[in-house]
């Protein structure tokens, strides 16, 4: 998105408005004193117009300030955060359009309440510095909001994937593998594909792929599994087939130049998942699976094995069709990682379509609940050293604070690039009437039910054997409530 706000006009307008308000003058009064129309003065204050020299002199006289002060880019202290915002060209990077806001609307807001907006901008900046919220993290958060607002389902990408499969005569019953997709890239899109080892490029040992545009060359890590390579090739095809120009060149998020890059990477990745996993086949198999009266982990894994995909792609694809076809939208998706022989659990990806209490990756330095299915699976995976099999488990998580129950299905595996770090994927569905009417095995009494919470610091389950930290935040909250009740308690 190309946004180029005129810094000179905006700052000039902010100064005029602030001076007018400081002197308690109305628009009409300043218009009369400067011999300008009210509408023109309004356009100036909103940063849309920049007057000629003689009109600036008239404004300076009307507001009793120096001409040089009006035309300079220096601002008063309370407007400095906005000036810094404009100097950093941050406005050109913010994805206003996905939130239905035009850049001009934001600029008008600044002109209407510059001091308040300046304070807000300064607050956001301080929060970002304190909690190390980089621009990359902001873009990823914006992308997550965008995905959630669309229920993680995009019909245009689904149709593009189906058209692609027909164009290249990929059977509806076939999942394209790495060889087929590599051939399409090389023969149709003229890619040069080279596999590399960590000895050739030590710095790229944990990177999946690198695209060199001026050579149409794709470097791909030889340590990747066949399913991972298939996804990388499918994403590259997505960039080409969808005619995406602005894209990241490295698979890992090392540096993000714009929100457009982040969004385009998601679109190409979605396309890859859609061509690897035919929507109709997945829907058919899931329908049969959900009709089973008993939970069957083997059946679930067998559905995944119909396709040349990783557990992560499979679980993402399930989240797509659950909202787009089955109309089950109260769900969350979590990707967690755990370093071998360490206690820490890290949330590396999350999506929350259920606007309820669900595990979020915002608990700074807190200890996530060890009763989460993801934590249980990762702990179990450590017992299976050098085991490349995918672990599949299910659990009904009863959130103690929110009083909401979730059916949580999870997969866990060891990483192919970082063997010391394992990952888990979980999808949680709110157990409501819609889910009860669709999934028969919800009544399976062999499924473990567990009371869970978000973090130990916030949890009131004092008899929890898995607790690793005292409920310090909960205790502080209770003290505040006690004091408030004492203050508000009526006199006898």
Residue-wise burial string across 20-32, b where 16 or more C-beta atoms lie within 10 A, e elsewhere: beeeebebeebbe
pLDDT of residue 466: 82
Of 89 and 136, more confident: 136
Examine the domain organization and report whether 87 and 188 are in the same domain.
Answer: no
| 221 membership: H or E segment, kind and range | strand 217-221
Which runs of E-coded beta strand occur in 233-276? none
Examine the domain organization and report whether 295 and 441 are in the same domain.
Answer: yes
Of 302 and 130, more confident: 302
What mean pLDDT do residues 317-336 have?
A: 93
In a domain, 388, yes or no: yes
Decide which of 253, 276, 299 is a domain's last residue.
276
Three-state secondary structure call for residue 142? helix
By percentage, how much of the chain surpasses pLDDT 70? 81
User: What's the CA angle centered on 385, arms 342 and 415, to 5 degrees?
Assistant: 70
Examine the domain organization and report whether 367 and 388 are in the same domain.
Answer: yes
In a domain, 447, yes or no: yes
- 296: containing domain: 279-479
pLDDT of residue 162: 94
Q: How far lies 236's CA from each of 168, 173, 186, 240, in Å? A: 15, 23, 11, 7
Q: Which two tokens stand for residue 119?
A: 């304070």
In a domain, 140, yes or no: no
Mean pLDDT lowest among 256-270, 318-332, 422-436: 256-270
- 206 sits in the region (left: phi over 0; alpha: psi -120 to 50; else beta) called alpha
Decide which of 232, 253, 276 is a domain's last residue.
276
Mean pLDDT lowest among 179-183, 295-299, 400-404: 400-404
Give the CATH number, domain containing residue 87.
1.10.260.40
CB atoms within 10 A of CB 241: 21
First to last CA, the chain: 64
Number of domains in the chain: 3
What mean pLDDT do residues 364-374 have?
A: 80
| 66 membership: H or E segment, kind and range | none
> Residue 2 above 50 pLDDT?
no
pLDDT band of 358, cuts 50, 70, 90: low
Give the predicted TM-score (pTM) of the model: 0.79
Q: Which residues pair with 406 in a beta bridge?
A: 397, 430
In a domain, 142, yes or no: no
In a domain, 485, yes or no: no
Of 33 and 401, more confident: 33
CA torsion angle for 240, 242, 245, 249 (degrees, to 10)?
Answer: -60
pLDDT of residue 363: 52
In a domain, 383, yes or no: yes
Examine the domain organization and report whether 270 and 220 are in the same domain.
Answer: yes
Examine the domain organization and report whether 293 and 399 are in the same domain.
Answer: yes
Examine the domain organization and report whether 95 and 157 are in the same domain.
Answer: no
Q: In what order do the strands lie in the sheet with 391-399?
A: 345-352, 331-339, 421-430, 404-414, 391-399, 449-452
pLDDT mean across residues, the chain:
84
Residue recorded with tokens 């100064």: 15
pLDDT of residue 385: 64
Decide which of 247, 276, 305 is a domain's last residue.
276
pLDDT band of 1, cuts 50, 70, 90: very low
In a domain, 302, yes or no: yes
Q: How far lies 115's CA from each of 15, 127, 236, 400, in Å? A: 11, 18, 46, 43
What mean pLDDT do residues 359-366 have?
A: 61
Answer yes or no: are the C-beta atoms of 408 and 396 closer than 8 Å.
Answer: yes
* 106-164 pLDDT, tens digit each: 666 665 666 666 666 666 666 666 655 566 777 777 888 889 888 999 999 999 999 99
Examine the domain organization and report whether 211 and 223 are in the same domain.
Answer: yes
Examine the domain organization and report whether 79 and 188 are in the same domain.
Answer: no
What mean pLDDT do residues 463-469 have?
A: 82
Distance CA 199, CA 197 (A): 5
Examine the domain organization and report whether 156 and 113 are in the same domain.
Answer: no
Give the CATH number, domain containing residue 164.
1.10.10
Most confident of 39-53, 230-244, 386-400: 230-244
What mean pLDDT do residues 265-279 have?
A: 96
Examine the domain organization and report whether 156 and 252 are in the same domain.
Answer: yes
Length of the chain measured in residues: 492
> Residue 416 above 60 pLDDT?
yes
pLDDT band of 3, cuts 50, 70, 90: very low
What mean pLDDT do residues 408-435 have?
A: 86
Answer yes or no: are the C-beta atoms of 407 and 413 closer than 8 Å.
Answer: no
Examine the domain organization and report whether 263 and 358 are in the same domain.
Answer: no
Residue 8 phi/psi, 5-degree rounding, is -60, -45
What mean pLDDT do residues 251-268 have?
A: 81
Examine the domain organization and report whether 156 and 123 are in the same domain.
Answer: no
Mean pLDDT lowest among 77-86, 320-329, 462-471: 77-86
In a domain, 1, yes or no: no
């Amino acid at each position: 998105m190309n946004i180029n706000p005129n810094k000179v006009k905006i700052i000039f307008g902010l100064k005029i408005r602030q001076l007018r308000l400081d002197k308690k003058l109305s628009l009409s009064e300043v218009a009369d004193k400067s011999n300008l129309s009210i509408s023109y003065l309004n356009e100036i204050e909103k940063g849309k117009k920049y007057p000629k020299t003689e009109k600036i002199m008239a404004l300076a006289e009307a507001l009793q300030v120096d001409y040089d002060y009006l035309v300079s880019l220096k601002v008063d202290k309370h407007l400095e955060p906005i000036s810094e915002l404009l100097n950093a060209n941050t406005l050109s990077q913010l994805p206003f359009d996905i939130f239905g806001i035009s850049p001009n609307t934001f600029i008008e807001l600044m002109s209407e309440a510059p001091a308040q907006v300046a304070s807000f901008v300064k607050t956001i900046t301080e929060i970002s510095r304190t909690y190390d919220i980089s621009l990359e993290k902001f873009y990823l958060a914006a992308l997550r909001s965008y995905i959630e607002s669309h229920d993680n389902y995009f019909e245009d990408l689904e149709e593009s994937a189906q058209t692609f499969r027909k164009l290249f005569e990929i059977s509806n019953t076939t999942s394209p593998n790495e060889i087929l997709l590599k051939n399409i890239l090389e023969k149709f899109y003229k890619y040069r594909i080279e596999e590399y080892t960590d000895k050739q490029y030590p710095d790229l040992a944990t990177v999946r792929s690198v695209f060199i545009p001026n050579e149409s060359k794709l470097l791909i890590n030889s340590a990747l599994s066949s399913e991972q390579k298939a996804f990388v090739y499918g994403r590259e095809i997505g960039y080409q087939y969808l005619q995406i120009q602005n894209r990241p060149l490295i698979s890992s998020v090392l540096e993000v130049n714009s929100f457009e890059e982040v969004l385009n990477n998601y679109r190409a990745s979605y396309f890859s998942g859609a061509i690897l996993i035919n929507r109709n086949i997945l829907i058919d198999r899931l329908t049969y699976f959900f009709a089973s009266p008993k939970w069957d982990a083997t059946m679930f894994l067998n559905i995944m094995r119909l396709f040349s995909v990783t557990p992560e792609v499979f679980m993402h694809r399930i989240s797509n069709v659950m909202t787009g076809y089955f109309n089950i939208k109260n769900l969350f998706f979590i990707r967690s990682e755990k370093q071998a022989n360490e206690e820490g659990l890290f949330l590396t990806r999350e999506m929350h379509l259920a606007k309820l209490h669900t595990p979020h990756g915002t608990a700074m330095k807190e200890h996530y609940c060890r009763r989460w299915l993801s934590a249980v699976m990762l702990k179990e995976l450590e017992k299976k050293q050098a085991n490349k099999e995918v672990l599949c488990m299910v659990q009904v998580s009863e959130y103690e604070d929110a009083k909401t129950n979730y059916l949580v299905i999870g997969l866990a595996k060891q990483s192919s690039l970082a063997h010391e770090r394992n990952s888990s994927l979980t999808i949680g569905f709110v157990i409501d009437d819609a889910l009860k009417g669709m999934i028969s095995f919800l009544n399976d009494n062999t499924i473990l039910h567990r009371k869970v919470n978000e973090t130990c610091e916030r949890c009131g389950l004092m008899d929890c054997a898995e607790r690793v930290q005292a409920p310090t935040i909960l205790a502080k909250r209770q003290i505040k409530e006690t004091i408030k009740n004492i203050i508000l308690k009526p006199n006898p």
